C-alpha cells in the first residue's frame, strides 16, 4: 500500500484564535518535483446539461458556481486547498484505510475540494455537496502524475467557515463527520474521528458490521473500525504544535507552525516536500473581509505568504499559473502520464533561484531570507490594518493585491 504523504491542516477558533478571527492553515506535502499553481475562477452561470470536466471524469454541472481561489498540483483539475467568495475554506488529506482505495478513475479527493468550494456557500453546504458527489460518483484514480506507479487513496477533509468547521473522513462512499465550533483542530494523513460523530452515511455502521469490522455491540469508534491494522503513526506533530501555543493564535502563529521542520509539520524528505501552503483568516464579524495567504512555491520556510481578498474584479495572476497544454496534456490523454511536461510557472522559476541561494550561500542566504520576511511582514501589516479598520474596503485597492505581491516577489528575486 502506498504511503500517504504526511500533510497537515489546522483550524483555530476564538478564544484560542485572536480578535474574533477563525484561522485556518494547510501544508500540502506532495512529490518533491511537483509544481503547484494558484488559480482564481470567477463566479459563473452554466448552461443546462453542461458538464464539469474533473481530473478523470466529467459530471453534471450546477446552474451557478461560486468564485474560488485554489492552490493545486498543476496537472489536475481539483485543488489541494482553497477558499470561496463566501468565506468557506477546504483542504484535504490523502489517507489509507482498511479498505483500499479504488483504482478505477472517479473523482479525486482534490476534485471534491474544488467542487465543495464551487457549490457550497457554508461549510455545512460544502460537506453536503461532497458526500452527495461521493455517493453518486465514488472516489478513485492516481493521486500522482506518474505513469510508472499507481497511488490511490481515501480522503479526509477540513471544511471551515467563520461559524464552524467539519472534519469529514471518507472510506469509499462511506463517511463520518464531526462538527467543531471551538478550540483547535489538526488533521493529517490518517483517520482521526473516534466516537464523537455528528453526521454519517446512513449505512456506515451496517457496512462495518457486514465486513466483520464491528460487532454492533461495542461503542462505534470510526478510526478504530476503518483504520488499517498497521496504522499506528502518531499524528500528533501538528496537534502538539497548535495546542502548545500559549498566546492567542494569529496568522503569524499559523505561518510559524507551517514553517516548522523540527516538528515534522513542514515536510522536506527524500520523496516528499511541502510544495505549497495556505493560511486563511475568517473574521466572525461579517463586515470585515476574509484574507487568504498563499505561497504558490515550495517550502514555506523559504517562501513568502501573499494575501488574496475576494472582490468583484480580481486581477488574474498568470505568473503564478502553469502553462496550459489543453487536449495535448499527457494527464488528459490515455494512457496517462506518458510524458512529463515542464509545468513551472514564472513565480516558481524565480523562486528556484532563491531556494538555491538559501541552500548554498550562508551569508547571501541569510540576507535574502531577511528581505523575504520583511516583504511578507509588510503584507501582513497592511492586511492587519484592513481587518482593524472601520472604513469599508475599497475593492479597487485590493483587486490586484495578489497580482502585485507576486509581481514584487518575482522582481525581487531577479
Catalytically active residues, by annotation: 9
3-state class of 8 per DSSP?
Answer: strand
18, with CB counted inside 10 A (0-12, 13-18, 19+), is middle
Beta bridge partners of 10: 25, 186
CB contact at 8 A, 91 and 127: no
* Residue 168, all three cell numbers: 469529514
The DSSP call for residue 187 is: E
In this structure, the strands spanning 272-283 and 51-53 are unpaired
Residues 6+ apart with CB under 8 A from 147: 335, 336, 337, 338
Instruction: Give the H/E segment covering residue 137.
Output: helix 123-137
Q: How far is C-alpha 206 from the geometric centre of its chain's CA atoms?
A: 32
List the beta strands (DSSP E) in 205-304: 272-283, 291-294
Helix axes 251-258, 362-388, angle to 10 degrees: 150
Helix axes 346-360, 401-413, angle to 10 degrees: 50
Amino acid at each position: 500500500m502506498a504511503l500517504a504523504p504526511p500533510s497537515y491542516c489546522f483550524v483555530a477558533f476564538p478564544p484560542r484564535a485572536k480578535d474574533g478571527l477563525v484561522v485556518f492553515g494547510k501544508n500540502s506535502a506532495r512529490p518533491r518535483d511537483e509544481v503547484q499553481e494558484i488559480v482564481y475562477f470567477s463566479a459563473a452561470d452554466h448552461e443546462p446539461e453542461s458538464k464539469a470536466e474533473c481530473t478523470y471524469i466529467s459530471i453534471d454541472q450546477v446552474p451557478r458556481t461560486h468564485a474560488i481561489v485554489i492552490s493545486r498540483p498543476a496537472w489536475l483539475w481539483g485543488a489541494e486547498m482553497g477558499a470561496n467568495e463566501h468565506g468557506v475554506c477546504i483542504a484535504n488529506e490523502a489517507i489509507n484505510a482498511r479498505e483500499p482505495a479504488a483504482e478505477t478513475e472517479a473523482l479525486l479527493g482534490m476534485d471534491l475540494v474544488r467542487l465543495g468550494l464551487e457549490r457550497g456557500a457554508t461549510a455545512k453546504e460544502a460537506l453536503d455537496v461532497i458526500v452527495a458527489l461521493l455517493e453518486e460518483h465514488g472516489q478513485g484514480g492516481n493521486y500522482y502524475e506518474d505513469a510508472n506507479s499507481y497511488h490511490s487513496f481515501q480522503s479526509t477533509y477540513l471544511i471551515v467557515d467563520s461559524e464552524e468547521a467539519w472534519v469529514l473522513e471518507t472510506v469509499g462512499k462511506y463517511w463520518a463527520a464531526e462538527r467543531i465550533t471551538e478550540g483547535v483542530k489538526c488533521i493529517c494523513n490518517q483517520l482521526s474521528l473516534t466516537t464523537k460523530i455528528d453526521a454519517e452515511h446512513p449505512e456506515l455502521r451496517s457496512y462495518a458490521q457486514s465486513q466483520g469490522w464491528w460487532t454492533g455491540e461495542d461503542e462505534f469508534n470510526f478510526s478504530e473500525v476503518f483504520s488499517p491494522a498497521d496504522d499506528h503513526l502518531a499524528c500528533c506533530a501538528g496537534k502538539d504544535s497548535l495546542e502548545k501555543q500559549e498566546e492567542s493564535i494569529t496568522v503569524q502563529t499559523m505561518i510559524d507552525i507551517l514553517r516548522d521542520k523540527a516538528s515534522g509539520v513542514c515536510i522536506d524528505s527524500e520523496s516528499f516536500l511541502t510544495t505549497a501552503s495556505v493560511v486563511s483568516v475568517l473574521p466572525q464579524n461579517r463586515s470585515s473581509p476574509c484574507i487568504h495567504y498563499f505561497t504558490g512555491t515550495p517550502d514555506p520556510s523559504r517562501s513568502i505568504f501573499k494575501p488574496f481578498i475576494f472582490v468583484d474584479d480580481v486581477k488574474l495572476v498568470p505568473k503564478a499559473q502553469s502553462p496550459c497544454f489543453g487536449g495535448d496534456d499527457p494527464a488528459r490523454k490515455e494512457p496517462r502520464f506518458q510524458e512529463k511536461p515542464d509545468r513551472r510557472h514564472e513565480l516558481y522559476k524565480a523562486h528556484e533561484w532563491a531556494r538555491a541561494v538559501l541552500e548554498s550561500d550562508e551569508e547571501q542566504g541569510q540576507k535574502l531570507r531577511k528581505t523575504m520576511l520583511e516583504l511578507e511582514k509588510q503584507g501582513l501589516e497592511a492586511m492587519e490594518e484592513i481587518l482593524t479598520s472601520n472604513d469599508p474596503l475599497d475593492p479597487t485597492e485590493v483587486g490586484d493585491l495578489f497580482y502585485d505581491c507576486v509581481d514584487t516577489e518575482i522582481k525581487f528575486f531577479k
